[in-house]
Amino acid sequence: MNNKQPNKKGPQDNKQTIIIFIIVTLLTLAAMTFFSSLLMHARSQKITYDKFIELVEEDKVKAVEITSTQINIEPKEQPSEFMDIVYYTGVLNDEELIPLLKEHHVKFDGEIPDSSSTILDIIFIYVLPLVLIWIMFSFIMRRMSKGSGGVMGVGKNTAKVYMDKETGVTFKDVAGQDEAKESLQEVVDFLHNPRKYMAIGAKLPKGALLVGPPGTGKTLLAKAVAGEAKVPFFSLAGSDFVEMFVGVGASRVRDLFKEAQKNAPCIIFIDEIDAIGKSRDSRYGGNDEREQTLNQLLSEMDGFDTSKGILILAATNRPEILDKALLRPGRFDRRIIVDKPDLKGRLEVLKVHSKDVLMDDSVDLEEIAMATSGAVGSDLANMINEAAILAVKNGRQYVNQSDLFESVEVVIAGKEKKDRILSEKEKRTVAYHEVGHALVTALLKDAEPVQKITIVPRTMGSLGYVMQVPEEEKYLMTKDELLARLVTYFGGRAAEELVFGTITTGASNDIEQATNLARSMVTRFGMSDKFGLMALETVESQYLDGRSVLNCGEETAAQIDSEVMAILKDCYKQAKALLSENRKAMDAIAGFLYEKETITGKQFMEIFNQVRESGKTEETEETAEEPPTES
């Protein structure tokens, strides 16, 4: 049942509306009078009586109208083709005027007062436009005040109230966030059974801050809390409070908490709270409206009684910029991390999103979960949907494993760009480049196994790629594993140089990722012999772009660059040496990939092992043919 609260207008709101109507009416009347007089002045022009007689004698007058106060003169020729000009002059007791007009054949007439015409003029010129303006203004005001609680909605809260049936979300619909659900389950139980906790002296936490990367399900969790607790759920975004006028945000905060106290127990959810909760430190820039809104929010959070059952949930992916006063206990008592799911979590998310999708018996969601390391809930939901669309596109009624793997590639690298046709030379170069990556991976013991190699261009810019799937979920990486990853990054560039004697722009992304990883090894992971355990960088916005900031002087920064360069050079030499020693295998796999365009990890390893076995056989035969040496 939708329990959207009706907007109630008080006497103050009605008074404001009446005042605005009166002001608009007066301004409209003044404008109409001004423009009417301006138009009349432009169409009529006063002349002297003797000038009027002169015009009649010169036969320049077509007709005249004699009224009690003036004589209106219509000339035969108008001075302007865009507007008819009417001259007028005063009335004199001139007995010769009528004979003169007859003599020059001028039409003349007198004025007959018509009260009905005057009334109609007033109605059409003044009353009717005013009525239309009032009707239009009333319609606009009603539309703008509808759902926002007052004139133009200024200062009123824009919260939406949801009940259980409206959200339709419970903890069963949230997967991969067991720790977050456990923390919020306690809050839900408190709202259901407050006496059990109050008996021991416990108090309901005032607020809980949901922190994590985009797409991990923070808003979904908040809706699930409302669905489980079955209490009113006020949902707003932080930007809903901020307006152009200073003081409006603070007024909306007051109205929000006033409405929440009427509906207690309830939950208030503020999404993207960093829009109003940004630190008041001048480092991030000041804003009077935002700071007043934040001050009001802090005051309201201190002022309401937790025994009534009001809980504030907020979500952000930028906790480092939030004001310290907002994060202290007594306001947001709990910080709940909603991080990227692990292998088990990804498997649960895939199961949740695939429960309504028709799956083939061959589908192995655990294999998909293993291949999507680092993916968040929204990515996995998108992959399931893309797989279902792909199955329908191919005329199947069930989603199979190949659809799921293709959807993983679509989300990560984009769709196949079939209209991009590479020349034979470029296609051969890309084939060797990708085989270089894969071959180095196979030769290094600390590298992840290859799942697929393709040289089909993708819409996100890649001309080909190697898909690697880890054998197990890892939370720590050793120095040897990181160095193996660096060598793998340089396998493509090393293969190009070995085979073609030149290099291309295809390794730009590999070089960028390798440089970032090597820099992190030196500045953050303490894996440099030169700097040892010294931390030289800190990470900002860890839940967004993960940007790093150096904490050292210019001289040290130059030494860091030299150290990173040395690590990258060593890894490139190692990649080049490995490929040079296995040139036959690289040529064989690259030729097969050039023809097929896409090969699986299994096919790759079969060719690789065949070449190695044949190489060993040749070495054995050569050794057997050598004559025995005399002792």
| Residues recognised as catalytic | 434
Residue at token pair 């679509």: 410
Q: Where are the alpha helices (DSSP H) in 73-158?
A: 97-103, 115-122, 128-145
Rounded CA-CA distance 516/537 in Å is: 12
Structure tokens at 65: 């109208």
Strand runs labelled E in 362-490? 450-454, 465-468
**Residues, the chain:** 631
The angle formed by the CA atoms of residues 328, 334 and 338, to the nearest 5 degrees, is: 125
Structure tokens at 288: 């009077």
Residue at token pair 């998909």: 368
CA Rg, the chain, in Å? 41
Cis-peptide into 329, omega within 30 deg: no
Q: Pairing state of beta strands 334-337 and 233-237?
A: unpaired
Rounded CA-CA distance 329/549 in Å is: 29
DSSP sequence for 557-575: HHHHHHHHHHHHHHHHHHH
How many CB atoms are closer than 10 A to CB 355?
10
Rounded CA-CA distance 101/105 in Å is: 6
What single-letter DSSP state applies at residue 284? Answer: G
Cα–Cα nearest to 107, from 74, 64, 56: 64
Residue at token pair 């005399």: 630
626 sits in the region (left: phi over 0; alpha: psi -120 to 50; else beta) called beta
Rounded CA-CA distance 520/539 in Å is: 10
Residue 323 in contact with residue 278, Cβ under 8 Å?
yes
The SS3 of residue 261 is: helix
42 burial (CB, 10 Å; 0-12 / 13-18 / 19+) is exposed
What single-letter DSSP state applies at residue 174? Answer: -
Cα–Cα nearest to 180, from 348, 299, 429, 360: 348
Residue at token pair 């049942």: 1
Rounded CA-CA distance 582/601 in Å is: 18
